[in-house]
Amino acid sequence: MAATQSIHTSTRGVEAPLMRGHWLWGNLKDVREDVLGFFLKAMAQDEAMLKASFLSINVHLLFDPDAIHHVFVKNAPNYYKGTRGYEKLRHLLGNGLVTSEGDFWRRQRRIAQPAFHKKRLEGFATTMAQAAEDMSLQWEESAKKGEELDLAQEMMRLTLRIAGETLFSTDISKASDDFGKYLSIGLEHFNHIASHPVPKVEYLPLPSNLRFWHALRKMKKMTWSLIQERRKRGEDRGDLLSMFMLARDEETGEQMSDQQLLDEAFTMLGAGHETTANALAWTLYLMTQNPDALEKVAQEADRVFGDRLPTMDDFKELTYTKRVIQESMRLFPPVWAIAKTAREDDVINGYHVSAGTHVYVCNYANHRNPRYWDNPEEFRPERFTPEALEEQKKRGRTNFMYMPFSQGQRKCIGDHFAMLEAVLIFSMLARKFQFQLKPGAVVKPETTVTLRPKDGIPATLRLR
């Protein structure tokens, strides 16, 4: 595909309307103060596209489904992951599926794809349900004692255990506190440097940089030792790592080198647990505000699987539960913004985009666009019934106004995995527990690589 994919270049088109900003630093201050507020304010101008600038960097903000379709599908080869954010993410994750480009990415995606086929997910469903069951047994004790838990942290630990088991058939949950700690350091640092106005600041021997490099080394070492252990044993464990090790590119017959394995494994660990943990954390937070929806989820779980552990087949029946997760990801998309960079000049919706310009899609804002969503601030899982979605399509390419997993060729490879995991875990927890937010606690989003609940979700549990 690579060589034959053509880029449609065009230099015609008018300039997009400009976001008002400071003569020197443009919109940088607004973005640094409150990036979500900035995007919401920009969206309220009701333009398909706006031009903004962050110091000398020119960006286009996209608020229109056709414009987004153009970038993610129609002229996708013209857009690559070229922002400073991705450059930093490469430091964190290496050159794996999330950050690689071109033929190399295409080959890796081809090799990785079969690992996410339905047949394989069936086995993973058992692992997910068992891990949730183990956690909920511990939660029963906490509920009895009236202990306060941070639901966000709990979800992070649970999804990390599942990532470890499905990727490596290894329960890294014992080490996961450390791994989670290092990952937090990595992500926080990433967020800091990605938005830092001084380029290359990450190369200075500052204490924060040293802490980051130390955390990164530790995480890579943990991942590396998992790979080495498998190489020694040479067995097919049926997990993602075995898939990656055994897979050969059907076109060239090549296998992944150790470095590629490390980067892909590390990418899967990073991309696969933090996102799902946040989707679940926000869902549980929404349940503290919407106990009726929680009860409906619980009743669905009673009906579909009752006292036994849920399976892949049950997943298909948990339709209301799935809608709650979808609605949760509308309001709090774990990947809150996606950026791309134009290789060559282009025209989007009649507006000129110069080569090197970044284009931004802010899921957090677009998922709340009143043009496409009625009463967007309201929590309404019914938006995702097949009938409601059919009705919504009349408003245009609305699937580009709801893209928690992105769209086009770089869409999340783990979308089905993530939905399966989130739905199974959530339905099991809803069947057993009710959640009370700590009195006075205010839960606000924080924009790291993912959208996290700032200061967690402090809550107590009650047995249902």
Question: Residue 342 Cβ, how far from ligand HEM at the closest point, in Å?
Answer: 15
- Nearer to ligand HEM by Cβ, of 19 and 97: the residue is 97
- Nearer to ligand HEM by Cβ, of 76 and 298: the residue is 76
- Nearer to ligand HEM by Cβ, of 19 and 405: the residue is 405
Question: Residue 267 Cβ, how far from ligand HEM at the closest point, in Å?
Answer: 6
Query: Is the distance from CB of 346 to CB of 78 less than 8 angstroms?
Result: yes
Question: Residue 173 Cβ, how far from ligand HEM at the closest point, in Å?
Answer: 17
Q: Which residues pair with 337 in a beta bridge?
A: 362
- Nearer to ligand HEM by Cβ, of 97 and 301: the residue is 97
Question: Which residue has the CB atom at the shortest distance from ligand HEM?
Answer: 414
Rounded to the nearest 10 degrees, the angle between the axes of helix 151-168 and helix 415-432 is 130
Question: Residue 190 Cβ, how far from ligand HEM at the closest point, in Å?
Answer: 13
Q: Can you give the three-state secondary structure of the chain, one letter per residue?
A: CCCCCCCCCCCCCECCCECCCECCCECHHHHHHCHHHHHHHHHCCCCCEEEEEECCEEEEEECCHHHHHHHHHHCHHHEECCCHHHHHHHHHHCCCCCCCCHHHHHHHHHHHHHHHCHHHHHHHHHHHHHHHHHHHHHHHHHHHHCCEEEHHHHHHHHHHHHHHHHHHCCCCHHHHHHHHHHHHHHHHHHHHHHCCCCCCHHHCCCHHHHHHHHHHHHHHHHHHHHHHHHHHHCCCCCCHHHHHHHCCCCCCCCCCCHHHHHHHHHHHHHHHHHHHHHHHHHHHHHHHHCHHHHHHHHHHHHHHCCCCCCCHHHHHHCHHHHHHHHHHHHHCCCCCEEEEEECCCEEECCEEECCCCEEEEEHHHHCCCCCCCCCCCCCCHHHHCHHHHHHHHCCCCHHHCCCCCCCHHHCCCCHHHHHHHHHHHHHHHHHHEEEEECCCCCCEEEECCCEEEECCCEEEEEEC
Question: Residue 416 Cβ, how far from ligand HEM at the closest point, in Å?
Answer: 9
- Nearer to ligand HEM by Cβ, of 64 and 421: the residue is 421
Summarize as ranges the residues that interact with ligand HEM (CB under 6 A).
81, 97-98, 109, 267-268, 271-272, 275-276, 279, 334-335, 338, 404-406, 410, 412-414, 417-418
Question: Residue 277 Cβ, how far from ligand HEM at the closest point, in Å?
Answer: 8
CB atoms inside a 10 Å sphere around CB 401:
23
Question: Residue 264 Cβ, how far from ligand HEM at the closest point, in Å?
Answer: 8
- Nearer to ligand HEM by Cβ, of 209 and 406: the residue is 406
Question: Residue 93 Cβ, how far from ligand HEM at the closest point, in Å?
Answer: 9
Question: Residue 60 Cβ, how far from ligand HEM at the closest point, in Å?
Answer: 16
- Nearer to ligand HEM by Cβ, of 363 and 392: the residue is 363
- Nearer to ligand HEM by Cβ, of 226 and 338: the residue is 338
Query: Phi first, then psi: what are they for 63, rounded to 5°?
Result: -125, 15
Question: Residue 320 Cβ, how far from ligand HEM at the closest point, in Å?
Answer: 18
Query: Is the distance from CB of 155 to CB of 274 less than 8 angstroms?
Result: no
Question: Residue 263 Cβ, how far from ligand HEM at the closest point, in Å?
Answer: 11
